[in-house]
Structure 1
């Protein structure tokens, strides 16, 4: 499933108000997370996003990093297109984290017991590292800390 390309602008600095006719098919299927392709002039980016509701409007967060990568400012209009999110966690998991989790069954079981949001948070914590070896090292540390019973996100990547 995919939406047509539609035009939006920023609302309130970091949000995008979503047209009801665009999001209705996704919400009707129970999908609040979508893959997003955004484009502006010559640039385009892809990311995973959540359709959120505030009052009678639906919106999506569009943070500073996405704004900078796309080169948009508050008064700019840019294009979005939504696609069905068929990823396991609602975000792409790094190869390094996935491999380390699959090689450590106990840590994998603990990870899988978490809520979807906590899993995404952990995936984001690892994916912020740009060097592959660092992602591997942090993934191994994460698994060791999970097996020690550490559950607080602030402590998951600390050495004890």
Structure 2
């Protein structure tokens, strides 16, 4: 299996097949506009601009499942991303990414790359989960906004980067996949 067997709804509710991105290296991330990690849109856009001409894309999938940090409708989300972060990569329609309502794409992503703990430079930024949402730490589900999955050119999920990992920290892994 690969991500190419899945689709996600765009901002107007149309299915977008990930087969449309076949052969590209991708980051698929669940996002939110009112989160402490929202600034990562800027880092994701920087990666997109740097590598898009080499066969790379970012796909943002907004979700309101974490403290209702994505309250807007799809038009408001699009406007926010463009106005505040100059986002030019695809921002899909708002959906669910964890628990029983998770769309099949996110069920697949979390099955392929399970939760391996928090790593990186800002591990302490995730301490609130243990205190406020310990149930989120169970299993392989999405833990919070801006969980990022790295997909190779074959559509295989090759990496998972939790919310505390800045997009720039993924750069070497992206470059390696683009060189393959």
TM-score when normalising by structure 2? 0.23
TM-score when normalising by structure 1? 0.25
Larger radius of gyration: 1
